[in-house]
Amino acid sequence: MERHYCHLHLISDATGETLIAVSRAVAAQYQGVSSLEHIYPLVRTRRQLERVINEIAAAPGMVLFTLVDQELAHRLEEGCKEIGAPCLSVLQPILNLFQSYLGAPATPRPGAQHMLNADYFRRIDALNFTLMHDDGQQSENYEAADVLLIGVSRTSKTPTSIYLANRGVKTANIPFVPDVPLPKSIESLRKPLVVGLLATPDSIVQVRRMRLLSLDADQDSPYVDRHVVADEVAQSRKLFERRGWATIDVTRRSIEETAAAIIDLYNIHRLKFISCS
């Protein structure tokens, strides 16, 4: 399939994370199109904006922005009109909806979503906890976790844990290794949601081979033997069923999708835990 390329200018008075997430979610719906991203964060002065407008003129394309300063927003729209570049405020339709429903205008605060509030420190605390409890570390402290992930090697335990931590969920993870008993502390856990991660043997073998290749290690190893891997997965599945733990098959899931499913399970688990406490 022939690919088409277009320039995409993302202009923000904060970090630009909102724009990046929204634009990539939309761009993913167009298989034959690749956007060349030009990202301009922390644009808060007229001088900075004029530089951005000049760069848009040098590489015309679509323009998305999140500028709460209305004077800057209007100047950008004027500049794009002169250039002939389509321009859209990502936040404005949502701000209009809020204003219509709440009956009050917003108070412009660039980067307000990144303020050092309680939620921010909660996420930092969760990230610190997760890093300290990665790959079976400090198992005696699992009761302090919100979520505990268990799975055979290469079932995305660590990246999923870190993603959850960025959402404020304290996550520990531990590898399942046949014939190696799990820590005794797991048997008495009450607060954490325990989730078993599963994947097809073929997908695990593929990821493991890539891992060995990156390490320049021997590819002729039981670690990537399909029969051995299939037995690992079967044993882990039996354990999860025996303990009554929730399971998620990560074979065709992105980290974000897996994390979303876990958060949904965790919210239900948390309500049950609170009601029983």
Look up the domain containing 230 and give its range: 118-276
Least reliable range by pLDDT among 5-9, 35-39, 112-116, 162-166: 112-116
From 113, 134, 153, give the residue that closes a domain.
113
Q: Give yes or no: residues 99 and 137 share one domain.
A: no
Q: Which of 113, 144, 164 is the last residue of a domain?
A: 113
Mapped onto helix, strand or coil, the DSSP state of residue 265 is helix
Binding residues: 151-158
Per-residue pLDDT band at 7 (split at 50, 70, 90): very high
Residues 104 and 125 in one domain: no
Query: Residues 49, 173: one domain?
Result: no
Q: Which residues contact 17 (CB under 8 A, 6 or more apart)?
A: none
> Could you tell me the pTM of the whole model?
0.74
- For the domain that residue 9 is a member of, what is the CATH number? 3.40.50.2300
Q: Are residues 128 and 245 in the same domain?
A: yes
Tally the domains of the chain. Answer: 2
Tokens of 29: 């719906």
**Domain C-terminal end among 61, 89, 113:** 113
**What are φ and ψ of residue 133, in 5° steps?**
-120, 35
Question: CA–CA separation, 42 vs 12, rounded Å?
Answer: 6
How far CA 122 is from CA of 137, 142, 237, in Å, comes to 21, 18, 33
- Check whether residue 150 and residue 107 sit in a common domain: no
Same domain assignment for residues 266 and 166: yes
Residues 6+ apart with CB under 8 A from 250: 151, 155, 156, 160, 197, 198, 199, 258
pLDDT in tens, 181-211: 999 889 889 999 999 999 999 999 999 999 9
Same domain, 146 and 269: yes
Domain check: are 138 and 101 in the same one? no
Q: What is the pLDDT of residues 47-104, one digit of tens each?
A: 999 999 999 999 999 999 999 899 999 999 999 999 999 999 998 888 888 888 888 7
Note whether 93 and 146 are same-domain residues.
Answer: no
Binding-site residues for ADP sit at 151-158
Domain co-membership, 11 together with 79: yes
In the chain, beta strands by DSSP E = 4-12, 33-40, 62-66, 87-89, 147-151, 171-175, 193-198, 246-249
Same-domain status, 263 and 129:
yes
Percentage of the chain lying above the pLDDT 70 cut: 95
Domain at 206, CATH number: 3.40.50
Residues 171 and 189 in one domain: yes
